Amino acid sequence: MRVFKFGGASVKDAESIKNVYNVLQQVGHNDVLLVISAMGKTTNALEVVIKNYIEKSAALQSSIQDVKKYHNQILLDLFDDENHEVFTIVNKLFADLEYFLKHNKSPNYNFVYDQVVSVGEMLSTTIVNQYFNYKGLQSQWLDVREFIKTDTTYRDAIVNWEETQKNIAHNVKRKTLNITQGFLGSDENNFTTTLGREGSDYSAAIFAYCLNAESVTIWKDVQGVLNADPRYFDNAVLLNQISYREAIELAFYGATVIHPKTLQPLQRKEIPLYVKSFTNPLLAGTSVSKGADLEPHTSCYIVKKNQLLVSVSSLDFSFIMEENISEIFSLLHQYKMKVHLIQNSAISFSVCIDDKFGNFTALKKILSKKFKVKYNEDVSLYTIRHFTDKSVSTVAQNKEVLLKQVSRETMQIVAKEVAP
């Protein structure tokens, strides 16, 4: 079995869904499992719904209507008959959403988030499944929550591999086209959980691992894995082949083409991963597989914007020792800071962090009771794999370099933009 993952950009409107149908006609669809994300920016739109619900805003109903209108227009563009059963199924999904928002008693934001935002994937897979069947391409719709079981860490759930493998191995039909949702799972009480933003790649890897799949293909709006994000770097080039190790390194440092958790289960069973273009599906794209000889022969650039550079030092010029670092890390974990770089000296400890949940003000207040805290907001973290003098010079141009860290293969630079 092959596992294909299609992200939000590949199913953002009716024409995109028709293109997915055409891709399958070209590359084959027998013995295939499709993992599909929410359509376009639906996850963002549902986050607005959640915000309005939590804040008891009068805009709640209008934000729900925005999501309804978006999906209804796609339905009208795909189906000639407005009496088709897909309209009833989609309406039921929205009715279930509104029922939850009306009757929910839980004050847990993360729980509410997962129950609401998951509607996006349920909608997208329902519409794609119904469209394929409408076109004569028979497909089997699967509710991923019956297969991927997790703990109750809402918004970043940990997979129960034993339960998940049993469910998938025993219940996914072979020799057919299966369609299921990315990003989602469920806990032991069957409440919906999510695997972290952009977790659909990970979902594909979970299914591939449990099915001993032939391969996983991630279909993107780019031709494959590039050595740099073309939004920030000119002359980005395609990496035709890379090793699991290199892909894991790139993902760890923040490359967005492959989700960080995707690669480990694939590597364990040596299942090859392909990153291909859904606009040019017959192009080779990038292959990720076993082999130390698959290292790229060019510098690879990764940039993470809107970071915080925080330096913590002792109030009395005493050394920052292990117990201090342990305490700082405990607080970083408590306040849900994502740490991307660490550097310490005798009397200071610096971290480049992503304040995903907006907790830095509270963290700074706690840290300031025992340490001197300095910080720079809105900095960028540049990571260069296989760096050269030229690549470092390119990154540092027109920037104020605040911190630099070098290892054998990788250089990281924290910098602020300055006027040329």
Is the residue at 382 inside a domain? yes
Is the residue at 220 inside a domain? no
Asked if residue 125 and residue 22 are part of one domain, the reply reads: yes
The residue assigned the tokens 């200071």 is 348
Query: How much of the chain exceeds pLDDT 70, in percent?
Result: 98
Say which CATH number the domain at 399 has: 3.30.2130.10
Instruction: Report residue 396 CA to chain centroid gap.
Output: 28
**Integer distance in angstroms from the first to the last C-alpha of the chain?**
53
- pLDDT tens for 121-174 read 999 999 999 999 999 999 999 999 999 999 999 999 999 999 999 999 999 999
Q: Where is the domain boundary, 213, 231, 266?
A: 213
Region 322-334 average pLDDT: 92
DSSP-derived 3-state class of residue 362: helix
Is the residue at 239 inside a domain? no
Q: Give the pLDDT score at 315.
A: 85
Distance, in Å, from the CA atom of 391 to the CA atom of 300, rounded to the nearest integer, reads: 9
386: which 2 tokens?
């296989």
- pLDDT tens for 46-60 read 999 999 999 999 999
Beta bridge partners of 338: 354
Better pLDDT: 247 or 204: 204
Q: Which residues of 68-98 are buried (b: 16+ CB within 10 A; e: fewer)?
A: bebbbebbeebbeeeeeebbebbeeebeebe
When divided into structural domains, the chain yields a total of: 2
Say which CATH number the domain at 82 has: 3.40.1160.10
Is the residue at 373 inside a domain? yes
Q: Give the pLDDT score at 72.
A: 98
416: which 2 tokens?
């602020």
Rg of the chain over CA atoms, in angstroms?
23
Write out the residue range of the structural domain in which residue 30 sits: 2-213
Predicted TM-score (pTM) of this structure: 0.87
**CA neighbor of 364 nearest in space, from 377, 353, 375, 350:** 375
